[in-house]
Each structure stands twice: as C-alpha cells, then as structure tokens.
Structure 1
Amino acid sequence: MSMSEIAEGGSAEQSQAVFEQALELVTLTGERLAFTARRLRVSGEAAQRACELTLEAAWTVYAALTAGEWMGLAAAARGGETGSGFEPGRPVELTARLKPAVQRALWPDGAELDAERALRALLGEAAAAQVLLRHSESWLVAEAKQRVDVPAELAGGVLKQGYRTLWADAGPWPPAPSARPAALSGQPEASTPQEPAALQPAWPGQRAAAQPLQAPARTTPPEVAPPAPHEGRAVGERALQAVAAGYLQHVGLPAEPLSASLLRIAYADEAGAWTMLVLTDEADQVCIVYSLFPTPVPVERRTELAVFLNAENYDLALGSFELDPADGELRFRTSLDVEGDRLSEALFARLFGMNAGIMMRYYAELAERIGS
C-alpha cells in the first residue's frame, strides 16, 4: 500500500488510511480468525487518541467471535443483541477499537500516534508491535453491521443494519467524531432508550447507508399528519410494516415494498425532493425512518459538514443526521421502539412527519453547504 492512501482528516486530531488487506487475528486459545481490513482511523486529542480498525468478517468468523466472546463481544457488552437480524452467510462489517492499555504500551506519548504509524505497526514493521496488534483481545468491537439487499433501481444503493456494543462509548478515549450519544449509524436516541446506530441504524446502533439517488419527480404530497379517523387507534396484531403502509396509503403517499421490512417513498415539497425509507424489525419492535439526501457530500466538504451536523444533532430533540465519511452519504434518521406497546398509525405519523419536517427545514442549507 502506498502512503498516498493515507489521508489527514482535515486536522491534526484525525488521520485515516483506507486500504484492503487480508489480516489474521489470533485468539487466546490460538485460533486464527481471518478478516479483510479496510480502514484504520486515529482521532482525538493527543492525550486521548482513539484508534479504530474497520474489518470485514466472513459469517463463520463472526459466529466464532460471538460464540467465543472474542474482541469484547460478550453477551452483556452486546446489550442482548445476537445479530438475529443478520442474514447467515453474508459478511459482517466490524468497527473495532484498540484497547487503551495496548495503545499506551505501544505509543506512551499519544501525540506520536497517527494512522501511518499505526498501520505500519499493524502490517508488521516491528515484530513486537505486530504481535500485540494482531491479538484479538487487543481490540474491542464497537459496531457490527451487515449489508441488506436493495433493488437495482436504487442506483446500486446499500442499506446497513446492525448494532452498537457497550464499547462504542465506553473507556477513557473519546467517541468517534461523527458520533453522538443518541445516534450511530448510529447511532440510543432520547426517544428510544432501548435502541443501541446507526443505520448508523438496528437496533442498538443500526446505521442505514444508501447510495445517492436521483431526485424523484416532484409531487405535491398531502400534509404529513395523523389521519383524523385513525387518531390514537391501536393496531393490535398488525405488523409494523403494515401499520406504516396503511398510514402512507391513507395520506396518498405511494410506498414501494423493497422487502418484508423495507419501504421506499418518493417525497417532495417546496424545499426539494428526496427518497425516504421505512425500516422495521418485527422481532425487536423497532421502526426507523430515514430521509436520504439526494447527492453525496464531496470529499473536501465532509469534515466541515460533519462538524456542522454534530452541532445540530446536539440540539435536536428527536432524530439525528448521519454522514458516512467514506462515501459522503447523508441521511436523517428518526426511530421508535414500541416493544411492550403497540404501534398506531398516529404514532407512525408523528415519527414520519418529524423526519420529513426536519429534512424540509435543513434541505436548502444542506444543499448550499454541499454545493449541490
């Protein structure tokens, strides 16, 4: 890998390397777990650097990790999540954080740690460092995500679902720059304490990431408000997606079912036009709504926009903006956990309406900041 692939993240407090490299981590029992390493990121102030490694694991490797509780994936750390929403046989994307004790042992002066040094150590420049960095128990998995199939008409788009672990916000190191306690990705939100991201995004920490879409034809949809005849009506045994589809049909917004758990809606108003997704998890009784900004954020504007979104997220009572630093995907997410209760069309209307309303409010400013 050439050093040109190592890029500063816009300041001295963040650097990352994007690459593709086969990597084996060894467990305490000597088992070798094969991954594909894709990104290494170092962020934070000198005294509290955080080193994160993005890995892709085959399904069998992910199963071995959870069964052996390697890399911090004990049941308690997963918050009860088993990855039951994952499809067996598909790879799982993991974001792992280097343990502070290991980090201090290798780089006592945090200021000297950056992505270039960490990557060289990981790939074997120094034998002692390599042994530590290639030990499974030197890392703690903060997020686990899996891609979900989306039809070709989404322009090659991708949706990710997964969960966050206890390690996502624990420890003396700071959370990732684009994260906030309520979101990623991510991202639990204040209104959904049982939900872990991002995407994000599922449930603890699910993130949804969809490739930029062409803006749908402009329409004039009805007011997004709870239909009067159904106000407060409990839906009993109706599936979450059926509740969402029923409301959307009632207000005249065509919803295209992409799967048993995913609806797509073309939405437009005076502000602009974009695609909305409704993602449901019947097992965990979670409903998530996404507004996908129609154009990606250019590389040179991602850092500045991430700072802006982080500040805006801080003041939002419900939902959060999410920006994928790898490809510039931008979305707004709202979610609702109705476990132990029932979803009504009125509840869904408020969830959906809040999401659309926030995107409406920010659309023009986002377009200006992105330069679209």
Structure 2
Amino acid sequence: MSNHIENFPLGKELTLNDSSNPLTIHTTSLSLTKQNHQIIECRLTFQVTPELYHRIDTEKLFNLKPEVRAPMSGGNFLPSGDIQIETTLQPDLLPQLLEKASTAEEAANYLLQLCQQPENPLTNKLLSTESWLCLSVKQQQPNGEVGYNTFWNYLNPSTINDPEATSEELSAGIVNFFQEWTQANLAEATQNATSEFLEGISSIFNELVDETFSDTEEDTTTNQSIFTAIVNFFESDQWQFVKIPETSALRLLFRGENGQWTCYAQAREEQRQFVFYSICPVKAPENKRLAITEFITRANYGMIMGNFEFDFDDGEIRYKTSIDVKEDNLSLALIKPIAYANVMTMDEYLPGIMAVIESEVEVKEAILRIEG
C-alpha cells in the first residue's frame, strides 16, 4: 500500500494559540499524505528561533512531553540558528480541515485565513498548539544535523487510526522507540524511571486512541449488543483500544512478561458470539513453517480454553478464545476469562515460538520447556 505526499511551500508567518500567549511561527511547508486517494495525514513544518524553542520546550507545546522524546542525536542545540519543527495534525481534526480543503495549497491558505478571522473556538482549534503533535525537532549546524524525533515519528497517529494497519507496523514503531530510549538511558535509568516512562507512554497513547463510548448503556436483556458488552468491559478494565471503522471489532495492545502484541476483540452479533485473538508479534518464515506447524499441534493438544491457529501461507500465528451466548447475556464476568486466558497463553508460549523460529531448538524440547 503506497502513500502519495503532496507538499506545498509556505514561507509565511502563522500565529497559533496556546493556553497563555499567541505563538507566531515561520512556516516552511504543509503537506498532505494520501493513501488510496484518501487524505490520511496533514503535516506542518516550521522554523523558530532558539529563544522561541526554549518556550516551546519549557511549556511542552505541540505535545512535547518528556516521555515522548527520543534521545538527542549529534550533540546539543546551538544558541544561534533556526530550529526546524515538524508536526502532524491530530487525526480527529483532519475531517474539519478537509471540509475546507482538498489540496495542500488549499489547506495552507485556509489556515492562514483563520489567523485573520475573529476568535472562533471551533475553527481556531486547528490553530491550537495542542492540536498538533510534534514529530521531530532539528537544527542544522556546521558539523551536521542535531536534534531528536518523538514517539509519534515512530508510531504515526495516522497508522494507529488506520483499520488496515498490521500488528507488525504497530509493534515495530513502539519497539523501535523504546529500544532507542532504553539504549540512551540504560546507564542512568532505574526500574522506577523505566516504569514512569512506560506509564507516561501508556497515558499518551490512551489519550490519542482510546475511543469514548459515553452514550453506551448496559443492557441486561438477551438482546444486548455483543459489541456494547465488549466495549464496556475493555473500558472498565482500562485497556487501550481502537474501534475499527465499519466493523464490530476492537484492536488492542497487550504487554506481557515475554513480549508485546496486538489483539482483536470481535463481536459476531448474528451468531451471538464473542471472539478474542492474540496475534503473535512475529511471523514464521517459510523455512520454519513445518516446525511451527508441529509446535502448534503439540501446544493445542490438551488445551481447554481456546487454541492456536497458524496461517501456513503467510506465517501468521494467533491464539483464539471465544464464547457463544445465544441464550444468555454477555456479561463482564464472562468476557474477562476469555480475554485473560488468551493473553496469558500467548505470553506463556511466546518464548517457545521464538525459540523455534530464531534458533535450532527442537520443537519437542521447546514444548517441554513450557509444559514440563
């Protein structure tokens, strides 16, 4: 799936709003990213003086919280020379912009026009610093480029909100950012510091992708929507999730002791069924698929709640649990064991799967290490 980027050079002053004082920046370009002829992202790039960057840094404008910043690369910023900042518009505001623009030039001109209009809380939200997520901060110096990327450059909000995004894309972004952060902070990071970092990322990720279903009410009849029930459960259990558009399914992220992976919670309304999947974060390469087939067969023998599934064509491995409630209501108490038995099983068997894929461990030995 290829993306097409339409770029429009600006070179004009743009005044943005924050909680205290207006912020005037020198814009350099605005770009729109199209996927299958549909606009999925708007980026704004601008330059600021080191003094103005100090304010942005101190006040954490453009969502520049410490926990989303990757380590500095190339040195430190100099007190002279402009600093370039690239941002992306929050996905939930993109439709508002696209009501007035279908090209990068039209989008740029619309933002400039908003600056000249009277205060309007609705339209001026596009001009709020909180509405833009910083992707990178760079400064060109005599010895090269200095700066840093942010979490959103590794896992772009447009990817998070894309229902066709694969589990590999989501996992890779998080893992790459965390690895860079860990390598730079390992010498000084304590367990508490790492825990605070993960909590910060989790909170920010939750703010961006967690769907709000405040109008959803608990229905105690057997006609209750399966989807309503699973949304209520994952909200009350504080999971981070994304509702997949035009489906009755949620995409979730889960971190176990042995890894992190994508999960899917699916409602089959007509059949009155709830299905939960854990998608293994790695696919089996062709030369390991026979071995993984044996591993899955051995692992499934004796399974009570759920089973592993293996797509021999593309190497995807997943664990499935489900429940049928044709004559009953899908309560939170019924959902919980389906979800947690699933992720606990994937977490338990993941080291064995990785051992078979990445080393020459015999399948039987890998199973014995898990089951004893």
Q: What TM-score do the two structures reach when normalised by structure 2? A: 0.39
Q: Which has the larger radius of gyration?
A: 2
The structure where helix makes up a greater share of residues is 2
Q: What TM-score do the two structures reach when normalised by structure 1? A: 0.39
